[in-house]
Amino acid sequence: MILPSIRLFTLGDVVLQGSPGESAGYLYSGRVIVTVTVPTSVRRLEVVFQNEQESWWAASKRAGQHGGSAVAIGDVLFADSSAAWGRGSYEFFFQLVLPGHLAETMYTAQRRVAYEVRAQLVTGLGGARRSAVQAVAVKRVPYFGAAWESLSSDMVNVTAMWRGRIEMSAMGCSRVQRDDQPLRVRGVVRALEKGFRLTRVGVVLEERTRTRGHGAACTSAIAAQRFLKPRAAPLGWCGGLLVDQMAFDLELRIPKAYGKIQYDVKHGPVTVSHRLAFVVAVVDRLGRATSLRLFTPLHIMPRDADGLPSYASSFADRVLLAAS
């Protein structure tokens, strides 16, 4: 028994604009191509956007919620109890209206939210089925002109003083960063008292996860870090006396989302935020070591154009008009 093959093509991830209470939702589109090599009886072809944990749910353009968090939004592309498909390829387009209140994709110890699009073909050969599945991430960005969207033009420029003896500054990068790209910041250390020696300089990107409601808690983890090696830093800085001030150009790479780092999540029972730490270790004239950290908030946001077509998907394109 040779069953038809089924392929699923979509335009990428779901990018919602605005908070869950104000987002207009998202029109998710794609197509399904079924290739038949041996004439086959076909009963049904369905497509559904759902939680990965959910089993198949035959939907008809409506959302279902089970247990407070399940999502299943689908459409029936073909239904006929006695249809026979001959050899060839059959193409079906679909559009699903997704609500704006969907929880964003995240993979944390406190909560896992994951989605997929599944196309399923049911044949008349004893009800045999073929499926195609594609993982889809749900992301959220602010509306253009929203208050928190204006943070994209805000630059890091913070200064703090430790006991009137050491002054630290961090500056230079935007407070809104994207995943899978380098982050550059300039750190300045200034001694307000003689006798200090600088032993360590670096930058740390920290991710903080908060759980709301009953059993509220906050955990933090290092998403990325970079410390200067003595040979790669200004000559003579490591272990040398900190005279006047010293400046360091620091760079680390922000990991790709959903691995070591998540995007900022501002709504829901579990929220995710980030902050950058400029780290300095010094030793005073008596040999006492002190580690200092200057924290400032950062926002890890998705690129709002992730869903645009690319050459990578061109092999499945159709010719709509050809010049004669």
Domain ranges across the chain: 5-141, 147-301
Domains 5-141 and 147-301 agree in fold: yes
Per-residue pLDDT, 117: 96
Per-residue pLDDT, 230: 60
Per-residue pLDDT, 5: 94
pLDDT by 10s per residue, the chain, length 324 = 688 999 999 988 999 998 898 899 999 999 999 999 999 999 999 999 998 753 333 333 344 433 346 899 999 999 998 889 999 999 999 999 999 999 999 999 888 999 999 999 999 877 789 999 999 999 998 877 666 666 667 889 999 999 999 999 999 889 999 999 999 999 999 988 888 988 889 999 999 999 987 778 899 999 999 998 765 455 556 666 777 788 899 999 999 999 999 999 999 999 999 999 999 999 988 999 999 999 999 999 998 644 444 444 444 455 445 454
Per-residue pLDDT, 85: 92
Q: Give the whole-angstrom CA distance, residue 29 versus residue 307.
A: 11
Q: Is 188 exposed, middle or buried (0-12, 13-18, 19+ CB in 10 A)?
A: middle
- Cα-to-chain-centroid distance, residue 53: 19
The DSSP bridge pattern shows strands 289-301 and 176-178 to be parallel
Per-residue pLDDT, 143: 78
Per-residue pLDDT, 251: 92
pTM, rounded to two decimals: 0.81
Protein fold of 5-141: Immunoglobulin-like (2.60.40)
Q: Is 104 exposed, middle or buried (0-12, 13-18, 19+ CB in 10 A)?
A: buried
Per-residue pLDDT, 105: 95
In the numeric block, the tokens 């960063």 are attached to: 177
Protein fold of 147-301: Immunoglobulin-like (2.60.40)
Q: Give the whole-angstrom CA distance, residue 242 versus residue 238.
A: 9
In sequence order, what are the beta bridge partners of 218?
Answer: 210
